[in-house]
Chains A and B, each alone.
Chain A
């Protein structure tokens, strides 16, 4: 499944790259791209565990940028 999420307060380009790196290491993630410019995350992952992976990804994101939120 491929889904796009809007992100809020993603403030640094550096961090977007770090988040991408961290999320791509989560098991079950096929592909992830975070665009600092469009403030969007595209996540491709296994259907069955998508929600689970998403919550892990959100955790990784808040580790790197505590103020950054992922909107549905």
Chain B
């Protein structure tokens, strides 16, 4: 048992001392070795008072502080009342033992909470401890990340955490982003590329210019987010808070009735008084008040190690009951980048030549289609072969390559230049027709490819109980239908303008409400331009958001990389969280209900009561800690 705080160490010593002391006194009492002349109740009272106060003086002290401050009915008061009751009835041993037992339970409880807290902190160990600033004279200052200013040049040594968001200005190497994204493959960075704080540098030495101060950097945003998440309470948590509010007074009234009414008929006031105390100790709602939020906090922590930031317990709870997933197409279900999927040369033409000429015309183009054609060509482009480049916005391009005019673009562009196009069959994606010297030579088809994991992810979501998966896209019907079918979406809407997406989500929400479906709707998108949809959905999920402030701002759940399989992952984490919280509630209430009944009829004694209080709390906390294991 490492990691004890100073206070826990002190308490542990006091408890151990009290237990030994108690054992010695009990044995001497039973063995009857006390000299006759002092073998009186007052002697035993004083002797038992030593272990009682050794372990429980804090409890007694707090009981009085509580009374003075008007906070009467807390645990300390109940324990003091119960144990003093035992002393009054001359059950000294019992009084001391119950107090010690209670403190043992409290100790375990505080230890378990401390452990789970530090496990969560370890999960979030992305915060950098220092930064090395390279000064103008070449000297290196090691400072707190807080002291880094925008524009400072930082030295990142092998194994260092990148302290703030910045741009690499010198050096290249691999960086490990797994603490932020959950992605275990290291990312290659080189001069000119942006790097995110919290990533761990590999073997290379990098120089990075700070683009942001520490407090605006990704690491800080993530930590803030996860910390604040605990304050957005789930329904289960609010239920517990509300429950505790009504529950405590009800139990106190019941205990008062137990103490005063039965003795009127049955007498034996002291016995009933003790039963009432037992009753009160059992009833403490601590197990619930601690373990339920802890389960949710653990769930949020577990998600964040996989690169999933959940902004509140409530969202995690909703994800456990995901009914409809509305998804954006481009960049979410698909790679979001175009790729050449087919090259069809005309009769007698060469496939490679079609691609080569098209690439020469598109050289330097920033349009995604042009970029994809150049990528497919993949060789160095000798710009001296190209002249007279012209761009016809939205239609295509033309240029002179090796002295011949080459046109690449839509059919209408070629037609307008008087080029004859043969009958072509429909294709999936966007086609670029290529002509050379006034003659059609072939067609290149460019399409956005569906992410490799998309169909598996959707199948998995369906098996997890997601009824509807609706794809929204601005694309034309044919392209939309193809992607929807390929990934296995249950439904799709094509030809939508950005504003239509909100209307569509609203319609789905209404539909769900009308049929009385109480489960939830999530929207997943890339976080760019879809802030209104993200906020309209029950749960807004932004993907591929590493370093995108807007997406982190707008979404309820932020997935740092663009791996779709994080969605079923978060559903599983959410389910496990809700299940564990439910188990804790059921277990605690059941044990307490049984003990309350047994306590009222006098079967459960103070020992059982202390178990029902702190014992149950410890078991529930341990159960919550399962959330932290993968």
Assuming the A-B contacts A11-B110, A64-B69, are A40 and B7 also in contact, with contact meaning beta carbons closer than 8 angstroms in the complex?
no
Does B230 lie within 8 Å of A64, measured CB to CB? no
Flag whether B286 is at the interface (Cβ < 8 A): yes
- From 4 to 30 in chain A, residues with beta carbon under 8 angstroms from any chain B beta carbon are 9, 11-14, 17-18
Residues in A whose Cβ lies below 8 Å from that of B69: 63-64
Report Cα–Cα, A32/B285, bound state, in Å: 24
Does A37 lie within 8 Å of B120, measured CB to CB? yes
Report Cα–Cα, A33/B65, bound state, in Å: 23
Does B7 lie within 8 Å of A9, measured CB to CB? yes
Does B293 lie within 8 Å of A36, measured CB to CB? yes
Flag whether B62 is at the interface (Cβ < 8 A): yes
Report Cα–Cα, A35/B227, bound state, in Å: 9
Does A14 lie within 8 Å of B289, measured CB to CB? yes
Does A63 lie within 8 Å of B65, measured CB to CB? yes
A3 CB to closest chain B CB (Å) equals: 13
Does A66 lie within 8 Å of B61, measured CB to CB? yes
Does A33 lie within 8 Å of B231, measured CB to CB? yes
A56 CB to closest chain B CB (Å) equals: 14
Report Cα–Cα, A11/B61, bound state, in Å: 16
Does B241 lie within 8 Å of A17, measured CB to CB? yes
Does A39 lie within 8 Å of B286, measured CB to CB? no
Interface centre among A13, A17, A40, by most chain B C-beta atoms within 10 angstroms, is A13
Flag whether B294 is at the interface (Cβ < 8 A): yes
Flag whether B89 is at the interface (Cβ < 8 A): no
Residues in A whose Cβ lies below 8 Å from that of B290: 12-13, 36
Does A37 lie within 8 Å of B65, measured CB to CB? no
Flag whether A67 is at the interface (Cβ < 8 A): yes
Does A66 lie within 8 Å of B65, measured CB to CB? yes
- The one of A13, A37, A66 in contact with B62, judged by C-beta atoms closer than 8 angstroms, is A66
Which residue of chain B is the closest to A62 with respect to CB atoms?
B65
Report Cα–Cα, A39/B230, bound state, in Å: 11
- From 378 to 418 in chain B, residues with beta carbon under 8 angstroms from any chain A beta carbon are none
Assuming the A-B contacts A11-B110, A13-B293, A64-B71, are A35 and B230 also in contact, with contact meaning beta carbons closer than 8 angstroms in the complex?
yes
Flag whether A55 is at the interface (Cβ < 8 A): no
Report Cα–Cα, A12/B207, bound state, in Å: 46
Type the 1/0 row for B211-233, where 1 means its CB is closer than 8 Å to any CB of A. Answer: 00000000000000001001100
Measured CB to CB, the residues of A under 8 A from B are 9, 11-14, 17-18, 33, 35-40, 63-64, 66-67
A-B contact pairs, 14 of them (CB 8 A): A9-B5, A13-B286, A14-B244, A14-B289, A17-B241, A17-B289, A18-B71, A35-B227, A35-B231, A36-B290, A37-B230, A39-B117, A63-B65, A63-B71
Q: Which 5 A-B pairs have the closest CB atoms?
A: A63-B69, A13-B289, A13-B290, A37-B297, A33-B231
Q: A12-B75, A63-B65 are in contact. List 7 more A-B contacts (CB 8 A).
A: A13-B289, A14-B286, A18-B71, A33-B231, A37-B294, A37-B297, A38-B230
